[in-house]
A and B are shown apart, each in its own frame.
Chain A
């Protein structure tokens, strides 16, 4: 800017040094006005005049006169008010105090407004601001005065006590008086905290301590929980209504401590408490308990432990109940039932809390593995379902059951045992054609696959492939027979063969028997055909798991008997004999005596008896090799086709033993493989570490016994896969 600006300074008036008398005059003017304000007579005063006076004093550096003067006026005024208030009796006291306080507060706002210039331009820390000065004087001379403070707090607490006992009190009055403590606090609500809050919290704890003790001894746990919830809601409302919000968390904590934390053990143990609620599926009460316990430290841990303990106990009862031990179906059904029941409790009462679910699962794991029969029972349960037990269920129900099976399966520590049994029963279902639906079989297997991966189900899937390929092979064989020259010489029989790949199927204990010439000729033909089509394969006949249909001609009627291969062999012997002893049967068929016993039993002791014992012996179960049987020519049966069980029991003890043995064999291999795998990567390892590592690797399939791992290590040392360090016998080294 080129043009030079000249600031126009108004004709400078030498500020007249303010005379003391002038300052005094202005102060007296203000003082009179303040007194008028304190007597609520402000309407005739000129705001501008007062403002100007205060301004003049401050710019003349006479603010001190004004500030100290104000302090004195406030001091005087509050002391007068104290006498007035202290004289009020009973309820008048609170009302008088409150009305004086409300007026005082308004006056202080007005004084602050008049003295705004003083407040802004003169007051410096640590001096109090004009309004704060007023508050401080009230606090000093009225509120914490011995004639007021204690009386006020006692009355306030008395009113709160009355309200807690159901009486109606003046909430607005409470709010105003309690807020007074906050208003006079200069920083961090210190007056409120010291003079009121502390005593209030103490009174609260006292009140709820005695109330809760009395209530819980005279009421049920459910009623107590409801009471607690109502009390907590009331206290929340109290905070909003007349307490300072900073008290909220402390008040609620005090209530929770007295009402919940101090009575948790009682609420769990009392007759109507947590245990009973769990036992009787009182979902709503448990839900309330969960909600309340959640509020206090460690509350849920108590509840969770109690629940998990109950679950473990119930599970333990089920897996050890004698009836359940005999009946796998009942056992698994009850387990699924309690699982459902506890899942319902978890979802309805415990908000599906992760910790709760985990502890229930841990409980299941522990009781399900208490009993080494569970793997087999579960396999049997599914077997029954897949043999037709699902007949009356819809897809959705089936899916639910299957998922429960998977769930229980997940808890098993010996999954390999289960797998063996499952394969065993699956093989039986497939070979005897008793599977209800291939779709369902495959669904079940796919669920196991999802759970455990390919390796777990590869054999099972192999079985299905075998079944399909067998059908193709059989069709081919039938074509071959029609074109074969040898065919003309043989009487026609309808033979069906299944080719099972070794390894996919459970190994059936080898049994030998002598087939009738006709059958063995057919077998030879099949072997010839099959080995021609698939070079390099070897066929081993497993006659013991076959079935046969035999025509049974009675004098008046003809039946078709559906029998096992063994039973067929036995029955065929009667073509040439009227009576046979078991010993003779065994000799005629080359079947072991034990298998003869088991095969004969259904034939003479079932609903339809094609054999009879001679002489008839009542209720004698034990068969001896000299017992003699003959055909029952008086058989009465409306059915044309009669089906017989292959053996007397679903599964015999030896067979089960056999399965167990095979599991042990497999485990040895698995443990060997695990040890070698670990040692190969680690080269050297201390004994204990090796055991731990090995157990960890195998835990998804089974829990190996330490003794077994030890034996395998010994064995591997013998086979020179490992060696001990010469200087430290507890360490092993891998030998490449």
Chain B
């Protein structure tokens, strides 16, 4: 899977061909990503790139109301299809995936919550 492609944020930068940056405003953290991967995994990103608006022009997306501890596993999920949900992050991830319409992740979270309520 493509987990390593995302997780090697600082190594082999040249060989990783990152072309898009996502910044968490809360923690001032940034993640290097790939447009092609994001757009093929999420309708939100697909439309974002297609619109050719500011984010597309600057190759940069600033997210306001999410922390990197939540964003990292989600981005990792988009790359690898795997995510570890725990009682710590379940609700936050559910909120994020509902907002950005990541349907399969919504399902994973809500299943987890139902089981553990």
Residues of A with Cβ closer than 8 Å to B?
A: 5-10, 42-48, 50-52, 55, 109-110, 113-114, 116-117, 120
A116 in contact with B43 (CB, 8 Å)? yes
Q: A47-B48, A48-B48, A113-B47 are in contact. Are A7 and B53 (CB under 8 A)?
A: no
**Interface bits B53-64 vs A (CB < 8 Å: 1, else 0):** 111110001111
**Once bound together, how far apart are the Cα atoms of A9 and B113, in whole Å?**
11
Name the CB-closest residue of A to B49. Answer: A47
Residue of B nearest to A110 (CB): B51
B77 contacts A by Cβ under 8 Å? no
Query: Which residue from A7, A50, A113, A114 sits with its C-beta under 8 Å from B90?
Result: A7
- On chain B, the residues within 8 Å of A55 by CB distance are 99
Q: How far is the CB of A13 from chain B (nearest CB, A)?
A: 11
* B11 interfacial contact with A, CB 8 Å: no
Contact B117 A7, beta carbon cutoff 8 Å:
yes
**Additional pairs, 9, CB under 8 Å, beyond known A48-B62, A109-B50:** A5-B87, A10-B91, A43-B57, A46-B55, A48-B48, A48-B55, A51-B48, A110-B50, A114-B51
Is the CB of B15 closer than 8 A to any CB of chain A? no
Q: Which of B69-94 contact A (CB under 8 A)?
A: 87-92
9 contacts between A and B (CB under 8 A): A5-B87, A8-B91, A10-B91, A43-B52, A43-B53, A45-B54, A47-B51, A114-B47, A116-B101
Asked if B44 is at the interface of the complex by the 8 Å CB criterion, the answer is: yes
Q: How far is the CB of A735 from chain B (nearest CB, A)?
A: 90
Q: Is B10 an interface residue (CB 8 A)?
A: no
Residues of A within 8 A of B61 (CB): 48
Main secondary structure of the interface of A (DSSP, over half): helix
Residue in A closest to B54 when the chains form the complex, CB atoms: A46
User: Known: A7-B90, A7-B113. Is A51-B53 also a contact (CB below 8 A)?
Assistant: no
By a CB distance below 8 angstroms, the chain A residues around B56 are 47
* Other-chain contact of B99, A44, A50, A117 (Cβ < 8 Å): A117
User: Do B51 and A117 touch (CB < 8 A)?
Assistant: no
B55 nearest CB neighbor, chain A only = A47
Known: A48-B61, A48-B63, A116-B43. A9 touches B51 (CB 8 A): no
CA distance A10 to B91 in the complex (A): 8
Q: Are A7 and B87 in contact (CB under 8 A)?
A: yes
- Is residue B116 contacting chain A, with contact meaning CB distance below 8 A? yes
Q: Is A43 within 8 A of B54, CB to CB?
A: yes
Chain B 12-65 residues near chain A, CB threshold 8 A: 43-44, 47-48, 50-57, 61-64
Determine the distance from Cα of A110 to Cα of B53 in the docked complex, in whole angstroms.
10
Cβ–Cβ < 8 Å partners of B113 in chain A: 7
A265 to B31, CA, bound (A): 79
In the complex, A9→B117 CA distance in Å? Answer: 11
User: In the assembled complex, which residues on chain B have CB atoms less than 8 Å from the CB atom of A6?
Assistant: 87
Interchain nearest-CB distance for B89 vs A (Å): 8
Q: Across the interface, which residues of A come within 8 angstroms of B87, CB to CB?
A: 5-8
Identify the closest chain B residue to A111 (Cβ).
Answer: B51
Smallest CB–CB gap between A550 and chain B, Å? 111
Interface residue count for B (Cβ, 8 Å)? 27
* Nearest A-chain residue to B101, judged by Cβ: A120
Could you say which residues of chain A place their CB within 8 Å of the CB of B50? 109-110, 113
Q: Provide the bound-state CA to CA distance between A219 and B92, in Å.
A: 82
Q: Which residues of B lie under 8 Å from residue A110 when comparing CB positions?
A: 50-51
91-117 of chain B: CB within 8 A of chain A: 91-92, 99, 101, 113, 116-117
Instruction: Enumerate chain A residues within 8 angstroms of B63, measured Cβ to Cβ.
Output: 48
Task: Report yes or no: A116 in contact with B47, Cβ–Cβ below 8 A.
Answer: yes
Question: In the complex the two chains form, what is the Cα distance from A8 to B92 in whole Å?
Answer: 9
CA distance A10 to B48 in the complex (A): 29
Q: How far is the CB of B38 from chain A (nearest CB, A)?
A: 13
Residues of B within 8 A of A (CB): 43-44, 47-48, 50-57, 61-64, 87-92, 99, 101, 113, 116-117
A114 contact set on B, CB distance < 8 A? 47, 51
A265 to chain B, nearest CB (A): 60
Nearest-CB residue, chain B, relative to A112: B47
Report B83 CB to chain A, min CB distance, Å.
16
CB neighbours of B54 from chain A (8 A)? 43-47
The answer to whether A113 and B51 touch across the interface, beta carbons within 8 angstroms, is yes
CA distance A48 to B25 in the complex (A): 13
B44 touches A51 (CB 8 A): yes
In the bound assembly, the distance between CA atoms of A52 and B44 in angstroms comes to 11
Q: Given A5-B116, A42-B52, A116-B101 in contact, is the A47-B47 Cβ separation under 8 Å?
A: yes
A110 to B54: give the CA distance in the assembly, Å: 14
| A47 CA to B47 CA, complexed, in Å | 9
B107 CB to nearest chain A CB (Å): 15
**CA of A46 to CA of B62, assembled, Å:** 10
Give the complex CA separation of A265 and B20 in angstroms.
Answer: 73
Query: In the assembled complex, which residues on chain B have CB atoms less than 8 Å from the CB atom of A52?
Result: 64
Tell me the nearest residue of chain B to A36, going by C-beta.
Answer: B53
Residues of chain B lying within 8 A (CB to CB) of residue A109: 50
Distance from B25 Cβ to chain A, minimum over Cβ atoms (Å)? 11
Closest to A59 in B: B99
Residues of A within 8 A of B89 (CB): 8
Q: How far is the CB of B44 from chain A (nearest CB, A)?
A: 7
A297 to chain B, nearest CB (A): 50
Q: How far is the CB of B75 from chain A (nearest CB, A)?
A: 15
> Are B88 and A8 in touch, CB under 8 angstroms?
yes
List B contacts of A113 (CB < 8 A). Answer: 47-48, 50-51
B residues near A51, Cβ cutoff 8 Å:
44, 48
B51 touches A7 (CB 8 A): no
CB nearest to A42 among chain B residues:
B53
Complex alpha-carbon distance, A46 and B56, angstroms:
9
Most buried by A among B47, B48, B51, B113: B51
A455–B92 Cα distance when bound, in Å, is: 96
Set of chain A residues within 8 Å of B88, measured between Cβ atoms: 8
What's the nearest-Cβ distance from chain A to residue B88, in Å? 5
The residues of A that contact B101 with a CB separation of less than 8 Å are 116-117, 120
Q: How far is the CB of A118 from chain B (nearest CB, A)?
A: 11
Q: In the complex, are the beta carbons of B91 and A7 less than 8 A apart?
A: yes
A10 in contact with B92 given A43-B52, A48-B61 (CB within 8 Å): yes
The CA-CA distance from A120 to B92 in the complex, in Å, is: 21
A391 to chain B, nearest CB (A): 84
Given A46-B55, A116-B101; A9-B91 close (CB under 8 Å): yes
B81 to A: closest C-beta gap in Å: 22
Min CB distance, B21 to chain A, in Å? 13
Say whether, besides A7-B91, A7-B116, A47 and B99 are in contact (CB < 8 Å): no
Please indicate the chain A residues that have their CB under 8 angstroms from the CB of B116 in the complex: 5, 7
CA distance A109 to B99 in the complex (A): 20
Closest to B90 in A: A7
Select the residue from B43, B89, B101 with max chain A CB neighbours within 10 A. B101
CA distance A6 to B89 in the complex (A): 12
List residues of chain A with CB within 8 A of the CB of B44: 51, 116
Contacts of A43 in B (CB 8 A): 52-54, 57
Complex formed: what's the CA distance from A5 to B117 in Å? 8
* Best-surrounded residue of B53, B64, B89, B99 (most CB of chain A within 10 A): B53
Shortest B98–chain A CB gap in Å is 9
Neighbouring B residues of A5 by C-beta, 8 Å = 87, 116
Chain B, residue nearest A9 (CB)? B91
Task: Please measure, in the bound complex, the distance between the C-alpha atom of A92 and the C-alpha atom of B73, giving whole angstroms.
Answer: 55
The answer to whether A45 touches B99, judged by C-beta atoms less than 8 angstroms apart, is no
Contacts of B99 in A (CB 8 A): 55, 117
Chain B residues within an 8 Å CB radius of A116? 43-44, 47, 101
The distance in angstroms between the C-alpha atoms of A42 and B63, with both chains bound, is 20
Measured in the bound complex, the distance between the Cα atoms of B44 and A50 in whole Å is 12
CA gap between A52 and B56 in the complex, in Å: 16
Bound complex: CA of A50 vs CA of B90, how far in Å?
26
